[in-house]
Structure 1
Amino acid sequence: MRRVRRSAAGCAVTALLVAVVVAPAPADASLPWGPQVTLTESALGGVHGTSPDATVRNVLAVTAAGDNLRVRLSNPSGTALTVRAASVGLQATAGSPALERRSARPATFGYRRGVTIAPGASVWSDPVRLRVKAGDHVAVSVYAPGAPVGDHDFPPPETHTPGSFLSSGPGDATGDESGGAFGTFRPGTLWWVDAVSATSLARGTIVALGDSITDGYGAVGGGPRWTDVLAGRLEAQPPHRRLSVANAGISGNTVSVQPNPYDPTNQCCGPPAPQRLDRDVLSLPGVTYVFLLEGTNDIGGGQYAPPAPAEQVIGAMREIAARVHRAGKKIVGATVLPMCNAAGSDREATRLRVNEWIRTSRTFDAVVDFDAVLRDPKDPTVMYEPWRNDCYHPNAAGDRILGNSIPLEVFGLPGYGRN
Structure 2
Amino acid sequence: MRLSRMIAVFAFSLFLSGSVTAQAATPERNGPHPVTLAESALQGVHGTAPDTTVRNVLTVTAGGTALRVRLGNPYGRTALSVRSVWVGVQAAPGSAALVPGSNRRATFGFRPEVTVPAGATVWSDPLPLTVRPGDHVAVSVYAPGAPVNDHTFPPPATDTPGSFRSGPGDAGADSGGSAYGAFAAGTLWWVDAVSAISPARGTIAALGDSITDGTNAYGGGRRWTDVLAKRLQQLPPGRQLSVANAGISGNTVSVEPNPYDASGQCCGAPAPERLERDVLSLPGLRYVLLLEGTNDLGGGDYAPPAPASQVIDAMRGIIARVHAAGHRIVGATILPMCNAAGSAKEAARLAVNAWIRTSGAFDAVLDFDSVLRDPADPTVIPPALRTDCYHPNAEGDRLLGESIDLSVFGR
CA shift in 2, pair 1:387/1:340, >3 Å: same
Q: Please say if residues 26 and 284 of structure 1, whose CA atoms lie closer than 8 Å, have aligned partners that are also in contact.
A: no
Question: In structure 1, what is the Cα distance between the partners aligned to 2:44 and 2:295?
Answer: 17
Q: Shift in Å at residue 216 of structure 1?
A: 0.3
1:172-223 residue CA offsets vs partner (Å, 9 max, x unmatched): 1111001111111000000000000000000000000000000001111110
- The residue aligned with 1:102 is 101
* Structure 1 residues 5-84: aligned runs within 5 Å: 27-29=17-19, 35-77=33-75, 78-84=77-83
Q: Does 1:309 align with 2:307?
A: yes
Question: In structure 2, what is the Cα distance between the partners aligned to 1:308 and 1:28?
Answer: 38
Q: Shift in Å at residue 34 of structure 1?
A: 5.9
Question: In structure 2, what is the Cα distance between the partners aligned to 1:133 and 1:165?
Answer: 22
One-letter amino acid of the structure 2 residue matched with residue 334 of structure 1 = A
Question: In structure 2, what is the Cα distance between the partners aligned to 1:218 and 1:378?
Answer: 24
Q: Shift in Å at residue 26 of structure 1?
A: 9.2
- The residue aligned with 1:336 is 334
One-letter amino acid of the structure 2 residue matched with residue 40 of structure 1 = A
Q: Does 1:229 align with 2:224?
A: no
Q: Shift in Å at residue 102 of structure 1?
A: 1.1
Identify, as 1 or 2, the structure richer in helix. 2
Q: Shift in Å at residue 386 of structure 1?
A: 1.3
CA shift in 2, pair 1:26/1:340, >3 Å: farther
* Structure 1 residues 86-235: aligned runs within 5 Å: 86-168=85-167, 170-235=168-233
> Alignment RMSD, CA only?
1.4
Q: Please say if residues 40 and 61 of structure 1, whose CA atoms lie closer than 8 Å, have aligned partners that are also in contact.
A: yes
Q: Shift in Å at residue 29 of structure 1?
A: 2.3
Q: Does 1:272 align with 2:270?
A: yes
Q: Shift in Å at residue 143 of structure 1?
A: 0.4
Q: Please say if residues 27 and 284 of structure 1, whose CA atoms lie closer than 8 Å, have aligned partners that are also in contact.
A: no
- The residue aligned with 2:6 is none
1:249-305 residue CA offsets vs partner (Å, 9 max, x unmatched): 000000000000000011100000000000000001000000000000000001111
One-letter amino acid of the structure 1 residue matched with residue 120 of structure 2 = A
One-letter amino acid of the structure 1 residue matched with residue 79 of structure 2 = A
Q: Shift in Å at residue 345 of structure 1?
A: 0.2
1:58-78 residue CA offsets vs partner (Å, 9 max, x unmatched): 000000010100000000122
- The residue aligned with 1:318 is 316
The count of residues paired between Structure 1 and Structure 2 equals 388
* Structure 1 residues 246-395: aligned runs within 5 Å: 246-395=244-393
Question: In structure 1, what is the Cα distance between the partners aligned to 2:188 and 2:361?
Answer: 34
Q: Please say if residues 223 and 397 of structure 1, whose CA atoms lie closer than 8 Å, have aligned partners that are also in contact.
A: yes
Q: Shift in Å at residue 161 of structure 1?
A: 1.1
One-letter amino acid of the structure 2 residue matched with residue 160 of structure 1 = D
Question: In structure 1, what is the Cα distance between the partners aligned to 2:282 and 2:128?
Answer: 20
Identity of aligned residues (%): 70
Question: In structure 2, what is the Cα distance between the partners aligned to 1:358 and 1:34?
Answer: 35
Question: In structure 2, what is the Cα distance between the partners aligned to 1:175 and 1:284?
Answer: 28
Q: Shift in Å at residue 404 of structure 1?
A: 0.3
Helix, strand or coil at the partner of 2:380: strand
Q: Please say if residues 296 and 311 of structure 2, whose CA atoms lie closer than 8 Å, have aligned partners that are also in contact.
A: yes
Provide TM-score, normalisation by structure 2: 0.93
Q: Please say if residues 26 and 283 of structure 1, whose CA atoms lie closer than 8 Å, have aligned partners that are also in contact.
A: no
Question: In structure 1, what is the Cα distance between the partners aligned to 2:291 and 2:18?
Answer: 26
Question: In structure 1, what is the Cα distance between the partners aligned to 2:401 and 2:205?
Answer: 14
- The residue aligned with 1:15 is none
Question: In structure 2, what is the Cα distance between the partners aligned to 1:107 and 1:312?
Answer: 44
Q: Please say if residues 66 and 127 of structure 2, whose CA atoms lie closer than 8 Å, have aligned partners that are also in contact.
A: yes
One-letter amino acid of the structure 2 residue matched with residue 104 of structure 1 = N
Runs of 4 or more consecutive aligned structure 1 residues displaced over 6 Å after TM superposition: none
Helix, strand or coil at the partner of 2:204: strand
Helix, strand or coil at the partner of 1:64: coil
- The residue aligned with 1:405 is 403
Structure 2, unaligned runs of 5 or more: 1-13, 23-30
Helix, strand or coil at the partner of 1:382: coil
Q: Shift in Å at residue 28 of structure 1?
A: 2.6
Helix, strand or coil at the partner of 1:202: coil
One-letter amino acid of the structure 2 residue matched with residue 327 of structure 1 = A
Helix, strand or coil at the partner of 1:376: coil
- The residue aligned with 1:4 is none
Question: In structure 2, what is the Cα distance between the partners aligned to 1:199 and 1:28?
Answer: 13
Question: In structure 2, what is the Cα distance between the partners aligned to 1:235 and 1:333?
Answer: 22
1:128-173 residue CA offsets vs partner (Å, 9 max, x unmatched): 11110010000000000000000000001110010000102x2111
One-letter amino acid of the structure 1 residue matched with residue 390 of structure 2 = Y
Q: Please say if residues 27 and 283 of structure 1, whose CA atoms lie closer than 8 Å, have aligned partners that are also in contact.
A: no
